[in-house]
Homo-oligomer: A and B are copies of this chain.
Amino acid sequence: MSATERTYNFSAGPAVLPLPVLKKAQEELLCLPGAGASVMEISHRSKQFEPIISGAETNIRKVLNIPDNYTVLFLQGGALLQFAMIPMNILVGTGKKADYIITGSWTKKAHSEAKLVGDVNVIYDGKDHGYRRKPSAAEAKINADAAYAYICLNETIEGVQYQTVPDTGDVPLVADASSEIFSRPIDVSRFGILYACAQKNAGPAGVTVVIIRNDLLERSGEKVPSLLNYKKLAENKSMLNTPPTFAVYMVKLVTDWLLNDIGGLDKMYAINKEKAALLYEVIDNSNGFYKGHADKEFRSLMNVPFRLPSEELDKKFQDEAKTVGLATLGGHRSVGGLRASIYNAMPRDGVVALRDFMLDFAKKSG
């Protein structure tokens, strides 16, 4: 392989981007047409940037069919900053507690950050079964007076995904959708806050999309610093200061691609289901050579963590895969094993190539 040949990149994030998006960004990098400068060089308040950020918002509203009583924000700091901003804004001052449902690494981390800020309950923790599934409504009972209930729709590290959105009644549901946003149709009206850092399915690292029901904006206290204050951010359309303009531009291009090249979320979902099935089928038919992490009914369409019979084989698999252009298949450093992240932008051909490699490798080593 030459130094500039692209591989199939199964990174969990920052992750593969659609090639047409990268090509468009490359073409416009020195000069955004009509702007006389790169998109990186122009004011966020310029007439050239305004249609980019408002276009990204329009695209997101269209893709997710977002009701009018929701605000879309483009923020910085990734999911980790949301872990703190959520309780700073919608817990502190309510006199209530928030309910956390821990289903893997990212909800665990979200809870530990929220604890620094306010009063939080853990109403479910799946550690006893190694975070292989999501709880039933009976296992994770929401307190009727909770300020909000917190979940992660798809645990990126464990590859465990909610197949249906839990019903939290009148308690606002707050969900981290970082590694699954735009991968399937979802009913936004079921959420108080739905948010995602971009670097899996929405764009590059450096921007986080936060979709918030407008009534929750009223909970932001006056003492919350401006850039952490949902209400002030909403009033200023994410422009209290300079937003991460290039990252927002990339989100605009990615959502353009999703709408125009793919044709929306129903189509994207069908493609994603088929891609994931290619890998899970190999795992299920391998007579235990490949072991998936998640229980079958909670398997993620986006992240497929699996193990081989030994750590040596895990390593051999990863090394050999790399030599044939299948890259970044290592599991998260906290859990080891292997993981194939097959986000929207991973082409079917890449998944087929991995499937074929898995079949060959099992035959050779099994």
A residues at B contact (CB < 8 Å): 1, 3-7, 9, 11-17, 19, 22-23, 25-26, 29-31, 33-34, 36-38, 40-46, 76-81, 83-84, 88, 113, 116-117, 197, 199, 204-207, 222-228, 240-247, 250, 325, 327-328, 333
Q: Are B245 and A205 in contact (CB under 8 A)?
A: yes
- A36 partner, pick from B6, B79, B247, beta carbons under 8 A: B6
Within 8 Å CB of A16, what residues of B?
A: 37, 41
- Give Cα distance in the complex from A353 to B238, angstroms: 35
A276 to chain B, nearest CB (A): 20
Within 8 Å CB of A116, what residues of B?
A: 222-226
Q: Are A325 and B243 in contact (CB under 8 A)?
A: no
Some 25 contacts from A to B, beta carbons below 8 A apart, are A5-B31, A5-B36, A11-B41, A11-B46, A14-B44, A15-B41, A17-B38, A19-B30, A26-B26, A37-B327, A40-B204, A40-B205, A76-B81, A77-B81, A81-B227, A81-B228, A83-B226, A84-B225, A116-B223, A116-B226, A117-B223, A204-B244, A204-B245, A206-B244, A246-B246
Q: Are B31 and A29 in contact (CB under 8 A)?
A: no
Q: Are B117 and A80 in contact (CB under 8 A)?
A: no
Q: Are A226 and B11 in contact (CB under 8 A)?
A: no
Within 8 Å CB of A25, what residues of B?
A: 29
Q: Are A227 and B40 in contact (CB under 8 A)?
A: no
- A206 partner, pick from B34, B246, B325, beta carbons under 8 A: B246
Q: Are A36 and B17 in contact (CB under 8 A)?
A: no
* Known A14-B40, A76-B76; further 8 A-B contacts with Cβ < 8 A: A5-B36, A11-B43, A14-B43, A44-B205, A83-B225, A84-B225, A116-B224, A205-B243
Within 8 Å CB of A26, what residues of B?
A: 26, 29-30
Closest to A25 in B: B29
Q: Are B14 and A36 in contact (CB under 8 A)?
A: no
A310 to chain B, nearest CB (A): 24
Q: Are B205 and A246 in contact (CB under 8 A)?
A: yes
A129 to chain B, nearest CB (A): 27
Closest to A43 in B: B11
- Give Cα distance in the complex from A41 to B199, angstroms: 8
